[in-house]
């Protein structure tokens, strides 16, 4: 009986110890598993924080690049406008100086000798100069005489029975083209006692016609400056 009781007691003690060991192992595994999940969660949070920081950094860099690009674009547009303005100014100066073919509304003035009238264009060249002056006062933008562009550098030189314009000999009839407001041109020439009346009095016919568009050719070659030189901004200061 004692031996049986001892066996029962030993079995009970063994059972209790077994249960305690299993419980301890399960508890340990649970704790270790929880620690592992917490570690992974902490690592993910750190990675998320790092990625968020990098994203904000990239956004900041992108904003700076966009602002820099906007500044560069504004500078480029300003330079482009400046170049455009200079190009337009150059074109205007070339038109005024006569190196461009131009077209526009204007007037054609034809001067010839009256029938049975002997006139010398060479001896009357001052009247042509006066007519050019009237045209300039009327605001014309381009003038040609028998196809030769008339500019500030053009000379009308009397030679024997003809005149030279830009070194080209010319005789009657003279065809003078002027681009500008036709009504103003005609009024500036045909008033009483004006240049048309004066030419008619000394034996010339003057025919004036207006056109919606006429073409005036530019000068051949360019004016060479031997003495005059441009002043740059540094020299001005």
Domain range annotation of the chain? 103-216
**What's the rounded mean pLDDT across residues 164-171?**
92
Q: What percent of the chain has pLDDT over 90?
A: 42
Range in 2-6, 88-92, 168-172, 191-195 with the lowest mean pLDDT: 2-6
Which CATH architecture describes the domain 103-216? 2-Layer Sandwich (3.30)
Higher pLDDT: 112 or 59? It is 112
154 to each of 6, 47, 150, 167, 177, how far by Cα in Å? 144, 83, 6, 9, 15
The strand pairing partners of 205, in sequence order, are: 112
Residues 6+ apart with CB under 8 A from 212: 105
Angle at 180 between CA 176 and CA 184, to 5 degrees: 95
On the question of pLDDT at 91 being above 80, the answer is: no
């Amino acid at each position: 009986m004692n031996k049986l009781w001892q066996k029962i007691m030993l079995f009970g003690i063994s059972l209790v110890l077994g249960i305690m060991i299993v419980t301890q192992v399960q508890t340990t595994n649970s704790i270790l598993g929880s620690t592992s999940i917490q570690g992974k969660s902490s690592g993910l949070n750190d990675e998320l924080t790092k990625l968020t920081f990098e994203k904000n950094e990239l956004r900041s860099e992108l904003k700076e690049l966009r602002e820099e690009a906007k500044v560069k674009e504004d500078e480029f547009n300003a330079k482009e406008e400046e170049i455009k303005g200079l190009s337009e100014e150059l074109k205007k100066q070339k038109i005024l100086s006569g190196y461009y073919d131009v077209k526009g509304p204007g007037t054609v003035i034809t001067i010839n000798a009256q029938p049975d009238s002997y006139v010398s264009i060479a001896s009357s060249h001052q009247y042509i100069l006066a007519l050019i002056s009237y045209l300039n006062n009327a605001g014309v933008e381009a003038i040609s005489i028998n196809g030769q562009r008339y500019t500030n550098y053009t000379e009308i030189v009397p030679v024997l029975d003809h005149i030279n314009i830009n070194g080209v000999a010319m005789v009657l009839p003279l065809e003078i083209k002027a681009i500008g407001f036709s009504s103003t041109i005609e009024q500036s020439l045909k008033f009483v006692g004006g240049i048309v009346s004066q030419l008619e009095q000394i034996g010339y016919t003057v025919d004036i016609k207006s056109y919606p568009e006429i073409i005036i050719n530019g000068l051949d070659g360019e004016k060479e400056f031997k003495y005059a030189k441009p002043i740059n901004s540094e020299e001005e200061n």
